Structure 1
Amino acid sequence: MVVIYTNKIANLKGFGSFCRLLIRWRGSVYKMVWQDLLVYVILYASLSCLYRFGLTEDQRRIFEKVSVHCSLFRNLIPISFVLGFYVSLIVSRWWGMYLSIPWPDTLCIYLAIIQGTDARARMMRCTVVRYVNLAIVMTFSMIAPGVKKNFPGLEQMVDAGYLTDNEKAILESLDHKTKEHKTYVPFLWACKIVDRARREGKIRDDIAQKTVTDEIIKLIPINQQTTPTPNPTPNPNPNPKRHQNPNPTPNPNPNPTPTPNPEPNTKPEPEPNLTKLSHFQQVVTIAVYTFFLFSVVGEQFLDPGQKLPNNLIDLYVPIFTLLQFFFYIGWLKVAESLINPFGEDDHDFEFVPLVKRHLEMSYLLADASPNEQPTRYRILTGIEPWKQRRRRWNLATSPLFWPISSSNQLRYKK
């Protein structure tokens, strides 16, 4: 569940405006760290009590040597560098996941190309957006537990209006042919509806049909990754008609198959290897927890009478060590919470409201009779028309935008 806090810091007035965020528990770093911190405090306190009350003098001297040794060599682990690189990698991956979330709004606007206000044209537009939303729900149900709970099977999608019984039977029949996911089938159905609208004359030309079809294909997950644009090579012949053959040989293949460009800078970027990411995650986790495992011994306050290095005072409570643990483990937990943003944690994506919003907006845009436009257009110029409109429009109470942003939750005393 997404935690909204921008309304708490909308006005940066006074001292400590951001301090109000430090006392929040829901969606805070305290909620992620407290269990690890509690285990660390118990281990540290147990070892400290053992050193002070459970060991003999000779055993204490041995423990002090081990503690000094751990204190010297635990700093060899570049924990700050490893965590910084790890967090930057995870954040860039998280941002790429956010950008890959499909939004059918542009497609629904392009569906105004399917002309007509009759029942047939409206049915075609609504069927296309229903198929697109069906593919989105089928995809989200495979990666988001919240959507999976609401739509565990095709039967629930039929009850929600995404599928008909006939379409459900077709998708179930594909289980005997392939074990792969079937999210491409609704996109295929949507493209066929657009092609049928073109053949029936509800789309004016082939270019308009291609525009809608391309927008449908953009929603397919495999087509959402961006590829670098190849650098245009300069034309060595600025005037191609000068050296053109007056009797060119006709091309035997009017629809040639495009060949890939052999230049290395035009190759698409490969997909990130999730196995390597898992290996790096293991390395970082082992490095962080090993660092603090040695700090349980190396950060013990020893007998000041022994005049050991960096042990001039006995504070009993390792304040700076606990702060270091809180910062590093909190850094690690933040990265771990961003690895899979499709779950049900405080800062994960809200997919259940998203699919509901997609379905509502899709039908609103597709079934709003886009060809019924206002018959009269009036351009308001000057100050007088604005004064007339201002009397009829209360800017303080009118819902200007949708959806409601976090700043709408602000309340001011009159």
Structure 2
Amino acid sequence: MLDIKWIRENPEALDAALAKRGAEAQAQQLIALDEARRSHVGQLQALQERRNAASKEIGKAMASKDQARADSLKAEVASIKDELQAGEAKERELDEALKHALSVLPNVPLDDVPVGKDESDNVEVRASGEKPDLGFEPKEHFELGEALGMMDFERAAKMSGARFTILSGGLARLERALGQYMLDLHAGEHGYTEVNPPLMVNDAAAYGTDKLPKFGDDLFKTTDGRWLIPTAEVPLTYMAAGEIIDEDELPKRYVAQTSCFRSEAGSAGRDTRGMLRQHQFTKVELVSVTTPETSLEEHERMTASAEAVLKGLGLHYRTIVLCTGDMGFGARKTYDIEVWLPGQKAYREISSCSVCGDFQARRMNARCRKAGDKATRFVHTLNGSGVAVGRALIAVIENYQNADGTITVPDVLQPYMGGITRIEKAA
């Protein structure tokens, strides 16, 4: 959430930022809402002051035995009380209107983010490795998985509907190995603290991490009003909610592997075959909570941590910076890491690492304080996939496929596979 004080002082900057994102100017509308709220609050304060003064005058009138004056003042105080009650209800309405208007406003991009309309305007910043030459016509992951008898979409659809998958045998173990490898790498070498968070959160957590109200249709809601997490970013980031953290303790870095749940609203017809776009998937998520001065450096560090997973797996990828029109709602800058899939003959996103500034911190009141200082300030938050486990499985299947349909297990995963070096169809 953006600061209304900053918007009042920088209306042109806000509208310029919204224009970069392809959105309409909103500064004046927001300022008008704030002015209406401020004016109303001023009227309530004046009424309260008059009520206090009249209450004192009642005592004086009673002391001087001026009953008529006392009765008149009592009637005035009662009338003011009624006005205040009605006015307080209106104040809540005005507060809510401003809060809602701010809550659906996207974050302001950093100055170095390329301006563009969509993914065609994203800019590649680096690449690692080369596209593999397998020496035969590669297949897509679902062709290989089904032929091995370890990837079942039909049975998944019977029990759950479209966009679900059953993995079994060697592929189920390979997915588990990928997650374990990522957790060991991030917790053991990259300095992240492993967390096992809840998979359901309340409205406050979903709102504080900018998923509500704008993205409610993309989430699954339980019958008792909780939300299934779309990513572990939500519970990991919300761990800082309402806290005042000693700046000497920052940055805080967390990693978690969880199931994630997304309704994929608006994705009808996209990636309907295979495992690329699922309602339920596994992801290793990275979250950092930092001081404002270190958040940009932390963004580069987080992205490098995600890239290290793909380097370890020997996968070709490219890292791009998203343009303003393709960037997420709460981000100030985002790097996407796209892995090469030989079967698709295309790059596909496998990680997205974003720096959010104080956008989420304002929503969840997460602050920090220097030692010896009384004043606090909002922390900066970052999140990134480290990486999407299901998509990493797809990448390994397609890049390590053999002409006979078997899958070679990458060296770094073999310690997690119980001696299995090649996945092949059961005899």
TM-score (structure 1 length as normaliser): 0.22
**Rg (Cα) greater in structure:** 1
Higher helix share: 1
TM-score (structure 2 length as normaliser): 0.22
* Structure ranking higher on relative contact order (CA contacts 8 Å, 6+ apart): 1
Higher strand share: 2
